[in-house]
Amino acid sequence: GSADNEGEAITGGYLFEIDERMGEEKKFLTTRGIPINVKDPKKPTDAQFEYVLQYFETAEAALYGTDFSDPSKGYGNYIDLLSFVHNYIIQELSRNVDGNMRLSNFLVKERGGRIAHSHVWDFDLALGNCDYISTSWQGYQIKNVRWYERMTQDPEFISLLKKEWQRLYSQLYKVEDHVRDMALLIDDAQKRNFKRWPILNQIVWPNPVAHGSYEAELEYMLKYLNERARWLNTEIMNM
């Protein structure tokens, strides 16, 4: 609230959106050009905004500093590595065009906490559904951009990534099961949808291809996910 202007109270909680359109009232670019919009509180006080600005500057300076992977002086004191590992896996696995710290990414800072990734959304340009990037399931989308390029030079980040990836990779078959369950659940709805908008044979920008049926689109997406996971598994384990 607006009374939380000092001590522990000023440290959180905040919600930020990374969005280069800079639509919020209070926003700033970090030194490295990350567009940070303060979403909550909607109208931060001057003291809160100043605190947030300084915190991001300190965190980013630590990330790009010479001691960046040092446990006592490094960026891990300001940035929650595990949340960034999880976000990295989700964005890279789906090869999400919007996952590169430019748009539609959300960060939080809880009271007394570090900068962390929170919920994910905006995956229309993912899983091979975008013709203006490579539609191949091979190749990195997120690894060499912005903060991630630096984080993936940190042995601690890589070791966490490998550990979390191994844990999740062994369970990825559940995702396919879930997708097929959901497809069954919305089967009547999808039929009504494509009766109302008969676009299954049309390429709607930026679709790379129109597969002609709901079933074929589903299979394309699942094949993409499985192949992408296989490719990433080799890559991550060799990092």
Q: What is the pLDDT of residues 37-86, one digit of tens each?
A: 999 999 999 999 999 999 999 999 999 999 999 989 999 999 999 999 99
How far apart are alpha carbons 179 and 190 in whole angstroms? 14
Q: How many helices (H) and strands (E) does the chain have?
A: 7, 5
Q: Once rounded to an integer, what is the mean pLDDT over residues 210-229?
A: 96
Which of 40-44, 131-135, 181-185, 197-201 has the least mean pLDDT? Answer: 131-135
pLDDT at 116: 98
Locate tokens 């990374």: which residue? 18
Which residues lie across from 107 on neighbouring strands? 16, 117
What confidence tens digit (pLDDT) does each residue in 191-207 have? Answer: 999 999 999 999 999 99
The pTM score is 0.94
How far apart are alpha carbons 7 and 10 in whole angstroms? 6
**Torsion, Cα of 185, 172, 121, 211 (10° steps):** -60
Q: Once rounded to an integer, what is the mean pLDDT over residues 90-96?
A: 96
CA geometry: angle 54, 87, 239, nearest 5 deg: 105
pLDDT band, residue 6 (cuts 50/70/90): confident
How far apart are alpha carbons 213 and 27 in whole angstroms? 44
What mean pLDDT is reported for the chain? Answer: 95
Q: Once rounded to an integer, what is the mean pLDDT over residues 212-223?
A: 96
- Inter-CA distances, 85 with 35, 108, 145, Å: 20, 15, 14
Which residues lie across from 106 on neighbouring strands? 17
- Inter-CA distances, 177 with 118, 180, 204, Å: 25, 5, 27
- pLDDT at 2 exceeding the cut of 90: no
Using CA of residue 82, residue 34, residue 94, residue 194, what is the dihedral sign?
positive
Q: To 10 degrees, what angle do helices 214-237 and 155-169 make? A: 140
- The amino acid present at 144, given as its one-letter code, is N
209: Cβ contacts below 8 Å, ≥ 6 apart: 203, 220
The answer to whether the peptide bond before residue 74 is cis (omega within 30 degrees of 0) is: no
Cβ atoms of 178 and 202 within 8 Å: the answer is: no
The two tokens of residue 75 are: 């960026």
